[in-house]
Amino acid sequence: VQLQASGGGLVQPGRSLRLSCAASGFTLDYYAVGWFRQAPGREREGVLCISSSSAVKTYYVNSVKGRFTISRDKAENTVYLQMNSLKPEDTAVYYCATARFCARSETYFTSWGQGTQVTVSS
């Protein structure tokens, strides 16, 4: 059972990145999947979550509304975080994790990927 987050990198402000959260050893269909991030010197925070049915998408931070979206590809067993109009304050290590539902507390998220670095800088 493993989650693999990927797709991070160094981008200029205003550009886009798409992060992937791929699962191996289990099917993501049965889980809510959340994206979290941790900036240097700050606590980890929730970003966005998609329910197991994909019907509900929960934003944990207002700063990404209108810029970030989340989606699920069942055939690929992968959840994506599309990040547009990136800002320097989006710089962080991004993690994906699974839970039974899109809880407000990350303690409900039980399986975590290893994280992928996103750096937004000119």
Mean pLDDT per segment of 10 residues, for the chain of length 122 residues? 93 98 93 96 96 91 96 95 98 97 93 95 96
The confidence score (pLDDT) of residue 119 equals: 98
How far does CA 118 lie from the centroid of its chain?
Answer: 11
Phi, psi values for residue 64, rounded to 5°: -100, -5
**Local structure of 121: helix, strand or coil:** coil
Q: Which amino acid is at 10?
A: L
> If 0-12 CB within 10 Å is exposed, 13-18 middle and 19+ buried, where does residue 75 land?
exposed
**In DSSP terms, which residues pair with 117 in a beta bridge?**
93
> If 0-12 CB within 10 Å is exposed, 13-18 middle and 19+ buried, where does residue 43 land?
exposed
**Local structure of 56: helix, strand or coil:** coil
The confidence score (pLDDT) of residue 55 equals: 86
| Residue 54, CB-side half-sphere exposure with 13 Å CA sphere | 12
Task: Using alpha carbons, list the distances in angstroms from residue 71 to 21, 55, 121.
Answer: 10, 10, 26
Which DSSP state fits 30? G
